[in-house]
A and B are shown apart, each in its own frame.
Chain A
Amino acid sequence: MVERARRDTRIGPALDRSLIDRARNGDLDAFDIIVRARMEAVYRLTSAILGDEADARDAAQETFVAAWRQLPRLREPDRFDAWLQRVAVNASRMTLRARGRRRIREIPASSVAAIADASAPEPSADRDARRLDAALGRLPIEQRAILVLHHLEGRPLAELAAILDVPVGTAKSRLFAARRALATLLGRDDER
């Protein structure tokens, strides 16, 4: 079995339970601390899912706005981080939906030049990343998110299940489906 190269899966020091309880009860100062403690992790996740800085920024902001609104309904404060990442995935989905309605885009000419110069050799890692980016862009956001969480953030199945709020078996099958869809797209790319 290939050992997966993993990133640090910690998203920051564990938050004090009382802090979360205070935020649940409407304490903005407590929520302020939470935002500062978790913004980097959330921004990293939305960036990885969306692959676009501006979209990641919007999604990260929406994550905390939604979290503030929904905190009173958080059933298990001890699983706050998993819940927050679920909110971030949902926020990424909404951002992506909004992005789909853009009407006019600007493209730097360097992009066009890059197409013309496509025959130039490209480092394999960069080429892989580009192909991965293209393939991810064609996956539904749910599959994109689960792949990011697993292959970039290094989340094991149990944590995936917690973040997605589904049983481990369901998380496993979703991960498998996402991986299969990605493999199909990457394979299609190979055949070109």
Chain B
Amino acid sequence: MSARPPLIGDDGWDDGWDGERLAAAFRVRSDAALRPVPSDLVEETLARVRRLEPRRPWFARRGLVGVTTAAAVLVAVLVFGVSTLGPSIGPAGSPSASIGMASQPTGPGPSGSAPAPGLGVAALPLLDVAGAVAVRDGGIDGREIRVQGFFAGIPVIYCALMLGPLNPTRIDCAPATITQNRVPLPISGSTARDPGATFRASFASVGVPGITAPSIPPATIPPATIPPGRLADTVVMLTLVGHFDDRRADLCPAQQVARCRDTFMVDRIDAVGPTALGTQTYDASRNVSGGTTNLRPRLTPEAVDALLRPINPVFTILSRRLQTANLLTAIEPAWPTEAPPWANNVPADQRIAWLVTAMSGPDASGPATIRTFVIDDGTSTILEIDRTGISVVWVSPQPAVSNEPALLPPGVVVACGELTATDCGPAADAAGVAVLDQPGAVTLIELGSGVYCPTAGLLFADTSCPAGALSPVPGGVAVGHALVSFGDSPEQAYLNLWRSDGVIHGVFIARAVAPSAQP
């Protein structure tokens, strides 16, 4: 099919849809969709705004270092004297580039995958620490930034008295002031001990360089860059990619939320000194097991990246964190401890999970933002975690285990819903087979545990269908439902799923355009 030709004059198209017709259609559509502004919308909106933290004035807290409550994580401080430090700062052997010059690191690490120049991470402007602090103090702003500063002091602290769930943004663990004292300043002069602008950074996603080096290839830090065991005495310039105002800050205890938001969550160590690193994998299990690891992931880092590609082909994978699933609570406070979203019988401490941070943008539509995915190594189940919670996305086909769909064409996204990993693949296959006679290419199959009940006046997802309303497969039992989307149609197919003789079947009910949500 050929694309419609371009415009004729300023406003006319030879597709029969001139400006007037288009505007009229827009008006009808808009009038149909738009009702008067809901009476409570203004008040509800204002109530939300009032609940927000009071905005912070620009630069109001420059250089602030607090000392407060207990928490557990790794603490590090990036320091940089914006106006006082010269280009030669740093002890012998350490990098000597000037922040002000914002020198670009050179080349990828030994086995990392560096983004193409001008794309991905390289598209982020390189800020100095003062610039990052300005972003932090400019209001709630979770945009992804790239910042270069000096890393000094590695106070690895575990707070035995920590209260509440772990949260990677809580790095106020006493005594936070140690960071000021651990700043080696190798130059003399009256300002020599002034670290300049500072911010606190959490390396929970990527590991503290030199201390929690990953064991899953590729290696994180080139051995020659940081002498083993000497990092505490070394000032190293790092280029980091990350953000303030992390979503997890909202889960800090109420009185600490503001402070948690000030934590810079490191999503990627982009360079150590002048040496650029590729996308790294941090083995968090190694960190807690004294430097050894028993993780034997089935997936390779490249396979993990490939799993996410159908979700957004232009994702920049910033970093990967590998751990047993029971350790996810240490970095994701919202992670359920009792019933993981991929419910099955494999114990969490025997299940390997990848936590992947992927970046979209920056582009014309706005600044760069990140999305966080958890991938179950055993089943390739993909979950996304955001401010609203955890949702399930499962991408096909990535053949790994027999429970995954084998009949669907590439690119079809399957949301498993409440179905178990065992049922998800066969159910998706059954849904795909049941809509083979439907026009259009399947793009999305959303599965769930309820069955659609075609009663008079309503089709709804429920398991309590009136007797006689359904025509089950003889001898079968209900498994759930499927909602199938097609790439070139607003209509969706509605199916119920039944298991008969151990095989899941899809029963087509209707094809319809989803109506607007009811108030």
Contact = CB atoms under 8 A, between A and B. Distances in A.
Interface string A101-139: 111111111111011000000000110110111101110
Nearest to A44: B34
Interface string B3-15: 1101101111101
Contacts of A137: 490
A78 interface: no
A141 B16 CA distance: 24
A9 interface: no
A112 B510 contact: yes
A73 B139 contact: yes
Interface residues of B, number: 87
A180 interface: yes
A5 B23 contact: yes
Interface centre among B44, B388, B417, B489 (most CB of A within 10 A): B489
A147 B29 CA distance: 13
Contacts of B22: 132, 151
A43 B35 CA distance: 10
Interface string B328-365: 00000000000000000000000000000000000011
Contacts of B41: 39, 43, 57, 60-61
B29 to A, nearest CB: 4
A14 interface: no
A28 B139 contact: no
A28 B49 contact: yes
A69 B3 CA distance: 42
Contact of A183 (B9, B13, B393, B494): B13
- Chain A's interface: helix, strand, loop or mixed, by majority? helix
A147 B22 CA distance: 10
Given A35-B42, A44-B34, A4 B391 contact: no
A61 B16 CA distance: 37
Given A44-B34, A111-B512, A5 B448 contact: no
Nearest to A7: B27
B55 interface: yes
Given A1-B9, A55-B517, A72-B58, A39 B37 contact: yes
Contacts, number: 237
A171 to B, nearest CB: 11
Interface residues of A, number: 85
A187 B4 contact: yes
A98 to B, nearest CB: 7
A60 B46 CA distance: 12
Interface in B53-68: 54-55, 57-58
B23 A6 contact: yes
A176 B383 CA distance: 37
Contacts of A1: 9-12
Given A60-B45, A108-B457, A115-B512, A28 B23 contact: no
Given A36-B42, A128-B21, A179-B7, A65 B48 contact: yes
Contact of A104 (B33, B38, B52, B461): B461
B30 A54 contact: no
A160 interface: no
Nearest to B58: A72
Interface in A57-76: 57, 60-61, 64-65, 68-73
Contacts of A3: 19-20
Given A2-B18, A44-B34, A105-B514, A126 B49 contact: no
B421 to A, nearest CB: 16
5 contacts: A2-B12, A44-B30, A183-B17, A187-B15, A188-B1
Given A36-B42, A132-B26, A187-B4, 4 more contacts: A53-B35, A69-B141, A93-B365, A186-B15
Interface of B: 1, 3-4, 6-7, 9-13, 15-30, 32-35, 37-38, 41-42, 44-46, 48-50, 52, 54-55, 57-58, 138-141, 364-366, 384, 388, 391-393, 415, 417, 446, 448, 450, 454-461, 481, 483, 488-491, 494, 510-519
Which 6 residue pairs are nearest across A and B when measured between Cβ atoms? Answer: A129-B28, A128-B25, A54-B517, A152-B26, A183-B4, A69-B140
